[in-house]
Structure formats: C-alpha cells, structure tokens
C-alpha cells in the first residue's frame, strides 16, 4: 500500500505542470468558445500592418536569443572497448606463482601473504588480463614495453569504434582527447593516434594526464563543453586508458602493492558529436567535484617513492571512505539536476523536519532509481562498489554491471565505466529512452557524474568486449 501511495504521489507531483497546463487550456477554450477561423481572420485584418510586423520581428528575435543561449545538445555517437586475447590472462594460480618468485617479496612473508589475500578478496576473476610485460620474471618495466602496450590497447579500441560507427571516418574527427594518468611518452598519445590514423592537419589535440581513474568522464565533460560552442556536425574522439607496463611496483610496501593486484589492461574510445544523426546516447548533466583542498583526500592516491627509493602509487586505507565523502558532495550538486520533483520535495521536507526538531532526525535518502534505469559505478574495488551501493540504497541488480566488469576485466582505470555500459547492452537491457548514471573516482581526489539517455540501442548488443563471455554472466561471487 505504501508503494502504491508513493507511486501515486510521484505521478501527480512530477506531472503537476502538465496537469496545470491542460486545466488552463481547457478554461481558455471554454471561455472563448465558440470561435472560428473567420473570426480570427477578421481580427487580424483589423490590426495595423506595422503592429503585426513589429510583433513578428520581436517574436523572432526572442526565439533566436533563447536558441543562442540554450545549451546545444551533445550526443555519444558510438563507443568501442579493447578486448584482450586469452594469451594475456592472469589467473590466480599464475599470480600466486609469480608473487612467490619475486625476489623482493621472498624475505617479507607478511607482504607476500597480504598480496595473495588481497587478490583472493578483490572480486577479480580468472580471466582478467595484464600486458606481456607482466608475464616476464621480473616484469619488463621498459619504455619499449610500455609503448607496445599503448599501441595495442589504444589502437584496438579506436579500430573498434570506427568499425561500429561506419558513417564516421578518421577524416571526420575535429578534436582528439586522450587521457592516461601516469605514463606520458614523448611524443604524446595524441601524436601517436594522429600518426597512426593520419588525422587531418587541422585537428585539435588535447592530452590529459595525472587524473587517475576519473579522467575518462572528465575527458567526456571537456568534449561536451567544446561541442556546445563548436559548429554543428563537429566530431570529438575521446580515448581513455591506463598503461601498466612501466608502472609495476617492485617493492614490498603494502599500500603500494595494491595497484599491482587490482589494475588490469584496457582502453575505450568514444566518438561524440553535436549533431543527432546516427547518435546512440544523448549526454545529460555532468557534475565534477574536487576535494583536493583536504590534505587527506589529496594524498589518498599518491605517486611517490617508498623507503627504499622505489617508485609506485600509494593507495590510502581511507580510500573507500574518501570516495564515499566525495560522492556525497557530488550528489548535493548532481541530485537536484536529475531527480524528479517528487523526490526533491521529500528531501526538502526531511531537511526542514531535521532543522525544526533535532539533528538526530534521519535525512530522507532520495531514490535515484526514479531518475535512472542503469548505473555504471567505477569498480575501483569490491569495497568501493559496496560503499556506493549502501550510500545510494541500490539493489544487487543495480550494481551487477559494476561487479561483473570488475570480475571479468579488473580495474581498467578510466575506461572502466564504458565496459560497464557495454555489459548492460550485451545483456539486452538497454531500451530507447533509458537513462544511465555513470560515476567515476580519481586522484585528487575527484568524483565525476555523467547522465546519459539512450537514443538508439545497439544494433548488435553482443558485438563488443563481452562478445565471447556474456552468456556466462552474471556469476555468483564468493561472500566475504
């Protein structure tokens, strides 16, 4: 009964303006009835021509002014993801064997057992993949190995997106944005892509680094801002990746061993445009929150050297709590932009009740499932997904795409949310008009949220990174 009453309340409140407009139109028609086209023609004939011309000019001017100030819609035309071959697999047995053979862990039994225990509890499956360099003993951290991995993952993702978006060719790309956090070669990634695909000389190229796993949605936000002021028909190619080969940590600090256990190879390429032709999704609200002013958040994901001078990335033990706090701050700005009026009223009443009575009154948690059908939460780790699920009150089905992507592909950093979107489509769950909420976290600390609306579902949902394994998912994860 309570659910029925809440549904009826939401139906009335969310459509209040429509109901009011219908009632107003009915009252006007009733008051002016009967009227005829001849009567309207007589009234227009009685007006002075100069007045009619002035009114027409004013209406046209106001319409043009509103159209110029109204933000231009931006669309996601197509996206593609790198799909690793089975030869790159890193099953648990191989990882355990390698860990036991690493010379710098042989004398540190505690760090050795910590790495194995972390891997077993990480939520990663047996099919996650690492680059060739990780299969060497010791791992190959050379520049040549990193370049080889870069060309493999980036070019594969770009080839995939152009194969799907058959109407868009490399010659149609006007802006190129590539993001990768730690590894930054010379020439940079954008130059590598321009050289490989022979992009035209006038292409605008932007290379982003140091932003961690959240850089993928940051790059999409940047592309959106550029497209809103660009001429109609402009195309932007966004490539998101993280290159692992040169960043393998060869020390024994526990906090710096975490990236070795969680991160896996991957890349995603996305074509965006400000023209609706052949678009698959329409971009909605984008909100980015930065908490770097807080020292604890700033050092939460930090690249530095350990006591022995070995470089790596240190992940704070407070990472999960930091991500939850950043998401709360983001929701304060993002929620009012996407939630229906019915949920916003309930939040406002909850805040008023707390202010009038006492601070012990529990605030109402808005139901974001009234605004979105699908959720792509950055699967930075099993604990991160658990924290976001509890904070937003989501069901296991809502976070299925995140858990299964972590299990199959591991943490692929900034490209991860696109693998989750591909999972939802591969399962055949995406429908026209469905809304998607993408959430990513990154170094800084940063939290980014992007809303998408499906314009046209995929013609072949299984044609993507999940093509050879979607029939096996979802899988039952061990309870910890």
The DSSP code sequence of 239-285 is EEE---GGG---S--HHHHHHHHHB---EEEEEEESS-TT-SEEEEE
Is residue 28 helix, strand or coil?
Answer: helix
Q: Which residues of the chain have pLDDT under 70?
A: 1-40, 43-44, 65-71, 103-108, 358-359, 480
| Strand 204-208 with 311-315, pairing | unpaired
Residue 447: beta bridge partners?
A: 289, 441
Closest to 80 in 3D by CA, of 422, 338, 323: 422
pLDDT at residue number 73:
93
DSSP summary character for residue 237: E
**Distance in angstroms (rounded) separating the CA atoms of residues 322 and 292:** 11
pLDDT at residue number 28:
55
pLDDT at residue number 66:
61
pLDDT at residue number 68:
57
* H or E element, residue 475: none
**Distance in angstroms (rounded) separating the CA atoms of residues 73 and 298:** 34
- The pTM of this model reads 0.87
pLDDT at residue number 441:
94
Q: Kindly report the CA angle at 430 between 428 and 431, in degrees rounded to 5?
A: 115
The edge-to-edge listing of strands for the beta sheet with 267-273 is: 204-208, 175-179, 235-241, 267-273, 75-81, 281-290, 446-454, 435-442, 374-377
Length of the chain: 480
């Amino acid at each position: 009964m309570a659910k029925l009453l809440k549904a009826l309340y939401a139906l009335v409140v969310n459509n209040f303006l429509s109901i009011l407009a219908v009632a107003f139109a009915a009252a006007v028609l009733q008051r002016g009835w009967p009227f005829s086209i001849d009567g309207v023609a007589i009234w227009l004939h009685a007006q002075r021509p100069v007045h009619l011309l002035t009114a027409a000019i004013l209406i046209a001017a106001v319409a043009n002014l509103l159209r110029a100030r109204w933000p231009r819609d931006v669309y996601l035309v197509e996206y593609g993801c790198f799909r690793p071959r089975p030869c790159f697999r890193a099953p648990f047995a191989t990882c355990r064997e390698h860990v036991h053979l690493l010379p710098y862990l042989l004398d540190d039994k505690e760090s050795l057992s910590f790495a194995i225990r972390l891997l077993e509890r990480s939520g990663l499956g047996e099919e996650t993949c690492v680059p060739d360099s990780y299969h060497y003993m010791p791992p190959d951290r050379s520049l040549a190995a990193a370049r080889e991995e870069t060309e493999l993952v980036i070019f594969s993702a770009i080839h995939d997106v152009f194969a799907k978006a058959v109407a868009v060719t490399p010659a149609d790309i006007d802006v190129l944005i590539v993001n990768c956090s730690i590894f930054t070669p010379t020439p940079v990634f954008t130059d590598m892509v321009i050289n490989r695909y022979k992009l035209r000389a006038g292409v605008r190229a932007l290379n982003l680094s140091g932003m961690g796993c959240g850089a993928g949605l940051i790059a999409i936000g940047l592309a959106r801002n550029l497209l809103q002021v660009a001429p109609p028909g402009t195309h932007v190619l966004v490539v998101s990746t993280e290159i692992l080969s040169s960043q393998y940590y060869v020390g024994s600090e526990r906090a710096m061993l975490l990236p070795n256990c969680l991160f896996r190879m991957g890349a995603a390429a996305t074509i965006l445009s400000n023209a609706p032709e052949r678009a698959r999704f329409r971009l909605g609200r984008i909100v980015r929150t930065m908490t770097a002013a807080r020292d604890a958040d700033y050092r939460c994901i930090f690249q530095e050297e350990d006591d022995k001078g070995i470089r790596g990335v240190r992940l704070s033990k407070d990472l999960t709590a930091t991500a939850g706090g950043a998401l709360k701050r983001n929701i304060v700005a993002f929620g009012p932009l996407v939630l229906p009026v019915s949920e916003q009223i309930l939040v406002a009443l909850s805040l008023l009740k707390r202010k009038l009575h006492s601070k012990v009154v529990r605030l109402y948690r808005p139901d974001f499932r009234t605004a979105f059908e699908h959720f792509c939460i950055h699967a930075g780790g099993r604990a991160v997904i658990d924290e976001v699920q509890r904070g937003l009150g989501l069901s296991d089905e809502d976070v299925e795409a995140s858990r299964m992507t972590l299990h199959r592909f591991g943490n692929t950093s900034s490209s991860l949310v696109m693998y989750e979107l591909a999972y939802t489509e591969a399962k055949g769950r995406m429908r026209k008009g469905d809304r998607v909420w993408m959430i990513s976290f990154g170094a800084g600390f940063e939290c980014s949220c992007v809303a998408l609306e499906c314009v046209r579902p995929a013609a072949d949902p299984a044609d993507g990174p999940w093509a050879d394994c979607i029939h096996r998912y979802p899988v039952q994860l061990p309870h910890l």
